[in-house]
Amino acid sequence: MEISELSVPDAWVFTPRQHSDSRGTFLEWFRSDALAEVVGHPLALSQANHSVSRSGTLRGVHYAQVPPSQAKYVTCVRGRVLDCVVDIRTGSPTFGAFASVVLDDVDRCGLYVSEGLGHAFMALTDDAAISYLCSTPYTPDREFGIHPLDPDLALPWPPELVPLLSAKDSAAPTLKEAESAGLLPTYRECQALYRELRAAGAAASVGAGGGR
């Protein structure tokens, strides 16, 4: 599995090795050990989501309050989407920046989005199917959003597609509005959470080997 960090820190793309023959294709679309090696801790699986979207459907920019927020490991099992990770952590050196990656059923890459980052995607094909693993359950009163068409973010959605948004995403504030309202996570609290997760992961690893 090839792993590369995006230009927005604390987000990685995992490209699996695919094995094909006359019967079809086999791949490992998620490896806990590979993720833990680069992130510094394993993904605590609490929920698995699946969405199917028509072409032009735009979901996001979504994020959850820190702590505990919600980390995600995302893959496209059918069709093609343009996925964007947005640094919404106030005080971050890359605050307001984004990184984009195409997820599809050809390369079958996985995208890991750390806690505190914003996440959005647009379906580039009809019936684009996304599956993702989440570190915490969905908690409505801790879930927030940024308008995905915020001109200051200038996310690179294909101009030939008409964006189809939910009522909730259409009513979401811009990044500046969310920052002014104190709705955004801070870089400092995100870094503290990452350190806590790494320490817990290290302790669990030591404990698991203690009985040998």
Please list, in sequence order, all residues whose beta carbon lies within 8 angstroms of the beta carbon of residue 115, skipping any fewer than 6 positions away.
64, 66, 67, 68, 69, 70, 71, 135, 185, 190, 193, 194
62 noted as active-site residue: yes
Contact indicator for 139, 73 with CB cutoff of 8 Å: no
State how beta strands 19-21 and 110-113 pair.
unpaired
Catalytic: which of 112, 132, 187, 194?
132
SS3 65: coil
Say if CB 114 and CB 194 are below 8 A apart.
yes
Tokens of 208: 């698991």
Q: Tell me which of 41, 62, 119, 147 is the catalytic residue.
A: 62
Residue pair 41/135 in contact by the 8 Å Cβ criterion: no
Q: Please identify every residue annotated as catalytic.
A: 62, 132
